[in-house]
């Protein structure tokens, strides 16, 4: 109860810290906890990525600090740059392959990856990194794109592999049993938390990052980043090789600049 009285009585940075201590103490049962599946509310959660300055401070060390010290730390841990994240769907691939190694890009899929690489290069950004799913079709797409972006480091991640993130609403008659969502969902949520967040407070300039992965993963990430119901992910369709751009601003706000952009491809190169 003492901490609650502090929230009311304190001002400025002290009030912020006191409020956070209330949440940390567990006294306020109305505070949402991290759980699976992710919750949805109609109000924007500004600390959705747990990277607001107050979440980067060890609160136990601040209980007896002066307000000037708290203000200094809150200022220090405030992000100042934005992250531009380009989510690229892989190109068309051989859907008849049994093993992942057989699900290689088709000739059309390779053309799509080339066109996407050209598009990203023509945007003129200085890209910081390319990350791709470890599935064959994503790796091949990333390699082709990389040929147009000389010198950009590339890495892979199992978190970005395709899967069924959460049971969609409205339901699909041809969709998966619950055990598939139970296994895939937390992994794809981990991909979201690992790659989609505001810039580090030490970052001085905006970054431009490319993630090459899959239709379901991208659609789920978009819903989560915009704080829309995650069950809505199946209401979108993305072309092969398309580009979805998210901007995570320094204050944690998120903008969707493009969703499934493939307008740079000729009509005969488009596929789903």
Residue 250's Cβ-count burial label (10 Å; 0-12, 13-18, 19+) is middle
Q: Please give the CATH topology (third level) of the domain spanning 83-269.
A: Rossmann fold (3.40.50)
**256-267 as b/e, with b when 16 or more CB fall inside 10 Å?**
eeebbbbeebee
Going from N- to C-terminal start, the domains of the chain cover 2-76, 83-269
pLDDT for 184: 97
**229 near 201, Cβ under 8 Å?**
no
Question: Distance between CA atoms of 2 and 18, rounded to whole angstroms?
Answer: 10
192-to-48, 137, 219, 270 alpha-carbon distances in Å = 11, 20, 11, 27
**Minimal CA–CA distance to 245: which of 263, 230, 229, 232?**
263
User: What pLDDT digit, counting tens, does each position of 2-17 carry?
Assistant: 333 333 333 455 454 4
pLDDT for 136: 98
User: What pLDDT digit, counting tens, does each position of 106-161 carry?
Assistant: 999 999 999 999 999 999 999 999 999 999 999 999 999 999 999 999 999 999 99
Question: Distance between CA atoms of 170 and 155, rounded to whole angstroms?
Answer: 35
Question: Distance between CA atoms of 92 and 138, rounded to whole angstroms?
Answer: 10
User: What pLDDT digit, counting tens, does each position of 210-258 carry?
Assistant: 999 999 999 999 999 999 999 999 999 999 999 999 999 999 999 999 9
30 has a pLDDT exceeding 70:
no
Least confident of 34-38, 107-111, 141-145, 264-268: 34-38
pTM: 0.86
pLDDT for 35: 59
Considering 30-39, 174-183, 231-240, the range whose residues carry the highest mean pLDDT is 231-240
Quote the percentage of the chain above a pLDDT of 90: 76
185-to-160, 163, 221 alpha-carbon distances in Å = 11, 8, 12
Which strands form 83-89's sheet, in the order they lie side by side? Answer: 154-157, 129-133, 207-213, 83-89, 243-248, 254-261
pLDDT for 66: 74
Q: What is the mean pLDDT of residues 87-96?
A: 98
**How far from chain centre, in Å, is Cα 198?**
10
């Amino acid at each position: 109860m003492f901490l609650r009285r502090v929230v009311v009585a304190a001002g400025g940075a002290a009030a912020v810290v006191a409020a956070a201590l209330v949440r940390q103490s567990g006294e306020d049962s109305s505070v949402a906890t991290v759980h699976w599946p992710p919750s949805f509310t109609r109000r924007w959660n500004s600390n959705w990525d747990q990277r607001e300055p107050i979440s980067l401070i060890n609160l136990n060390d601040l209980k007896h600090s002066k307000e000037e010290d708290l203000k200094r730390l809150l200022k220090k841990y405030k992000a100042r740059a934005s992250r531009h994240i380009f989510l690229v769907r892989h190109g068309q691939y051989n859907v008849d392959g049994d093993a992942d190694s057989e699900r290689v890009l088709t000739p059309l899929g390779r053309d799509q990856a080339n066109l996407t690489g050209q598009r990203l290069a023509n945007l003129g950004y200085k890209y910081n990194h390319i990350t791709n799913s470890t599935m064959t079709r994503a790796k091949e797409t990333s390699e082709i794109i990389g040929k147009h972006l000389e010198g950009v480091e590339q890495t892979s991640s199992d978190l970005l592999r395709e899967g069924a993130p959460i049971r969609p609403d409205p339901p699909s008659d041809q969709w998966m049993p619950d055990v598939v969502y139970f296994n895939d969902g937390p992994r794809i949520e981990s991909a979201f938390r690992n790659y989609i967040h505001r810039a580090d407070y030490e970052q001085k300039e905006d970054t431009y990052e490319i993630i090459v992965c899959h239709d379901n993963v991208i659609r789920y990430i978009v819903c989560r980043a915009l704080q829309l119901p995650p069950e809505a992910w199946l209401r979108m369709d993305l072309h092969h090789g398309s580009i979805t751009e998210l901007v995570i601003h320094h204050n944690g706000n998120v903008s969707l600049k493009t969703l499934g952009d493939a307008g740079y491809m000729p009509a005969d190169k488009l596929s789903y």
